[in-house]
Amino acid sequence: DVKVTQSSRYLVKRTGEKVFLECVQDMDHENMFWYRQDPGLGLRLIYFSYDVKMKEKGDIPEGYSVSREKKERFSLILESASTNQTSMYLCASSPGDSTGGYEQYFGPGTRLTVT
């Protein structure tokens, strides 16, 4: 079974802090994704990565950055946390080709509260 783990289930940070959310997948997947989930808005893509050290902006990248130094690890960074970044953050990975399938496998999520 594919396993995607996220470093924290719950996190509380103060406004202005730098926040790191870590995600690790154990299936050698090419692609990794960060989403935020808010009620009534579904999942919105923040950033994704299709290879080590490669990244592309998603639909809502403002206020976020990412890092992928190793294939299995994809980090989301909030440079200066703000209250409007309070949300559920979901990490996902996918094999990246038609033989492997295009579905994404999700971690359990990190609920971040910024006060």
Partner 1 sequence: AQSVTQPDIHITVSEGASLELRCNYSYGATPYLFWYVQSPGQGLQLLLKYFSGDTLVQGIKGFEAEFKRSQSSFNLRKPSVHWSDAAEYFCAVGQEYGNKLVFGAGTILRVKS
Q: Rule CB under 8 A: is residue 113 a binding residue for partner 1?
A: no
Both tokens of residue 20?
């790191």
Query: Residue from 19, 34, 105, 114 that binds partner 1 (CB under 8 A)?
Result: 105
C-alpha to C-alpha distances, 88 to 8, 51, 69, 80, nearest whole angstrom? 11, 25, 24, 17
Query: Residue from 57, 82, 101, 113 that binds partner 1 (CB under 8 A)?
Result: 101
3-class DSSP assignment, residue 85: helix
In sequence order, the 6+-apart residues with CB closer than 8 A to the CB of 41 are none
CB 93 within 8 A of CB 4: yes
Query: Residue from 25, 75, 85, 94 that binds partner 1 (CB under 8 A)?
Result: 94
Strand order in the sheet with 64-70: 4-6, 19-25, 73-78, 64-70
Query: Residue from 17, 41, 80, 82 that binds partner 1 (CB under 8 A)?
Result: 41
Q: Rule CB under 8 A: is residue 103 a binding residue for partner 1?
A: yes
Of the pair 50, 61, the CB lying nearest partner 1 is at 50
Query: Residue from 27, 60, 61, 96 that binds partner 1 (CB under 8 A)?
Result: 96
Interface mask toward partner 1 for 1-40; x: CB under 8 A: ---x--------------------------x-x-x----x
